[in-house]
Amino acid sequence: MSPVKRYVSMVDLKASYRAQETEIDAAIKRVMHSGWYILGQECAAFEQDFARWCGAHHAVGVGNGTDAIIVALRGLGVGAGDTVFTVSHTAVATVAAVELAGATAMLVDIEPDTYTIDPAKLEAAVKAVKNSGGRPRAVIAVHLYGHPCDVEGIADICRRHQLFFVEDCAQAHGAMLGDAQVGTFGDIASFSFYPTKNLGAFGDGGAIVTRDRTLAERCAAIRQYGWRERYLSDQTGMNSRLDELQAAMLGVRLKRLDREIVARRSAAARYDAALAGHLHTPQVRSGVRHAYHLYVVRSAERDALAARLKARGIGTGVHYPVPVHFQKAYAGRVAIASSGMAETERASREVLSLPMHAFLQDEDVEQVIESVISECKS
């Protein structure tokens, strides 16, 4: 085996600070000198800019992407007695949020090519819940890894069965269907600004996005004790606010986001061209643009391949090694659609995320490609 040239990591968070250091430092100073640290001008400005960037009407900043889902569901009036359909092949946060909103999750299998919810299995599950006297209310479609789910298929099911369509865009800032970005297709969408995300804060952050003004206003109240105005709660709420420091820094990061997504796509295109003959590379549905939060390949010998790449100085990750329905906190308790979880379980054994971020250098991409090809041959 050739010696390690240098380490190529999965992500490089310091690089995103260095790329905009002067502007970020200025934003921090501005907030520190303002004397206003929670829900002020910075958050309002970022909400406007982010909504515009998404092509949506309204954005409401919250504390993180998990809370964004909770606030979205509560804003829609989804809670106790309601069934919310989502996937098991996701960050556990998606399912946790459903339960924290008081609703019941039903997990549905994914399509093997896109790792997103399978519409045919979804519809069968919705009908089964209806027939058994349950109350299907919403679908949370996760645009996993940055690949849009089958938006049209899911929107159609939601229309016919009168379900809310919630988009979990935590991994998909900048993913597109035709000319429109994810987050603009459903009734409401949730975003995470966890530092590793395509738009990452320097701490926690999240937002909901919607075209519906009344819904946005309800969500804005829910994030702060249900306040209509200071000290007057018209509804029950919680505390989940995007703070001024994170909002100010996100505003700076947002200016560079388009460029960073182009960089991700260009690294992905180089991986695709070089690796396609050697292992299973990401498939992209026609008419969509992947945002490559993660570049995920699959291999029947995933763990051995990851270990060999690590020895060569290539960092990898597994998203996700244990489906939610196998997690100790959920196994045997969370409802699973009767079509089963064959694709989810196979994906959890085979998926491997290669280094992917906006600051990969040409030589990093080369080193990953060379190492993967050599290790696939050996």
Ligand X SMILES: Cc1ncc(COP(=O)(O)O)c(C=O)c1O
Residues that bind ligand X (CB under 6 A): 64-66, 90-91, 93-94, 142, 168, 170-171, 192, 194, 204, 206
Residue 325 DSSP class: G
- Quick count: other Cβ atoms within 10 Å of Cβ 18? 11
Closest-CB residue for ligand X? 65
Min dist CB 171 to ligand X, Å, is 5
Residue 226's H or E segment, with its range, is none
Residue with tokens 């060999």: 308
The residue among 90 and 281 lying less far from ligand X, judged by its C-beta, is: 90
- Quick count: other Cβ atoms within 10 Å of Cβ 236? 10
Please name the residues in contact with 313: beta carbons below 8 A apart, sequence gap of 6 or more: 4, 5, 6, 7, 8, 367, 371
The residue among 86 and 210 lying less far from ligand X, judged by its C-beta, is: 86
Burial profile 143-153: b = 16 or more Cβ within 10 angstroms, e = fewer: bbbbbbbbbeb
The residue among 147 and 312 lying less far from ligand X, judged by its C-beta, is: 147
The residue among 170 and 275 lying less far from ligand X, judged by its C-beta, is: 170
Min dist CB 59 to ligand X, Å, is 15
The residue among 94 and 299 lying less far from ligand X, judged by its C-beta, is: 94
Min dist CB 246 to ligand X, Å, is 11
Please name the residues in contact with 83: beta carbons below 8 A apart, sequence gap of 6 or more: 103, 104, 105, 106, 129, 134, 135, 136, 137, 335
The residue among 196 and 339 lying less far from ligand X, judged by its C-beta, is: 196
CA atoms within a 13 Å half-sphere pointing along the CA-CB vector of 321: 6
The residue among 199 and 358 lying less far from ligand X, judged by its C-beta, is: 199
Min dist CB 65 to ligand X, Å, is 2
CA distance 95 to 309: 32
Min dist CB 244 to ligand X, Å, is 18
Please name the residues in contact with 328: beta carbons below 8 A apart, sequence gap of 6 or more: none
Min dist CB 97 to ligand X, Å, is 7
Min dist CB 28 to ligand X, Å, is 21
Burial profile 320-356: b = 16 or more Cβ within 10 angstroms, e = fewer: beebbbbbeebeeebbbbebebebbbbbbebbbbbbb
CA distance 342 to 374: 31
